[in-house]
């Protein structure tokens, strides 16, 4: 168990992970998730290791797995608003959902938007030249 006085750990980025089944067994966590919840969260049910998340976060994971569609909601962690998004993970052939991928973003963490590029710079990224 990690110290949850600061959530997530400073400089770690946005926590994200993947879970399997209705118990939401965590099978992958990005470095921010590992820094926040500890390496021991991998291989354990999310409800048992991610104790600082409110019940609404797990309701979201349950709804995504049961409803087989992506969902998002705002949750409050340590008095701060976070956007939690989740999407079902599907088996390749039958397309049945078997798990959930999720991502957390602080409300104050604005999306990254790059400056507009001049046309000559944008043209260098074309895969093929445009038709005349």
pLDDT digits (tens, 9 = 90+) for 75-107: 999 888 999 999 999 888 888 889 999 999 988
The answer to whether residue 90 is domain-embedded is yes
What band does 113 get if pLDDT is binned at 50, 70 and 90? low
Kindly state whether residue 80 falls inside one of the protein's structural domains. yes
Mind listing the pLDDT tens digit for each residue in 9-40? 555 688 999 999 999 999 999 999 998 888 99
- From CA 104, how far away is CA 32, in angstroms rounded? 10
End-to-end CA distance of the chain: give it in Å, rounded: 62
Residue 93, in any domain of the structure: yes
Give a yes or no: residue 4 inside a domain: no
CATH number of 47's domain: 3.30.450.20
- Given this model, what pLDDT does residue 2 score? 42
Residue 21 lies in a domain: yes
Range of the domain at 117: 16-123
Domain count, the chain: 1
Rounded distance, CA 88 to CA 24, Å?
Answer: 12
Mean pLDDT taken over the chain: 84
String of b and e for 72-97 (b: at least 16 CB within 10 Å)? Answer: eeebebeeeebebbbbbbeeeeeeeb
In this predicted structure, what is the pLDDT of residue 4?
44
């Amino acid at each position: 168990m990690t110290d949850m006085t600061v959530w997530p750990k400073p400089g770690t980025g946005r926590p994200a992970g993947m879970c399997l089944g209705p118990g939401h067994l965590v099978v992958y966590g990005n470095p921010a998730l590992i820094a926040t919840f500890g390496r021991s969260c991998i291989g354990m049910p999310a409800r048992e290791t991610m104790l600082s998340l409110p019940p609404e976060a797990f309701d979201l994971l349950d709804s995504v797995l049961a409803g087989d569609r992506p969902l998002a909601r705002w949750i409050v962690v340590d008095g701060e608003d976070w956007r939690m998004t989740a999407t079902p993970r599907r088996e390749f052939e039958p397309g049945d959902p078997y798990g959930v991928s999720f991502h957390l973003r602080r409300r104050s963490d604005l999306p990254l938007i790059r400056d507009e590029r001049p046309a000559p710079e944008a043209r260098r990224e074309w895969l093929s030249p445009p038709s005349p």
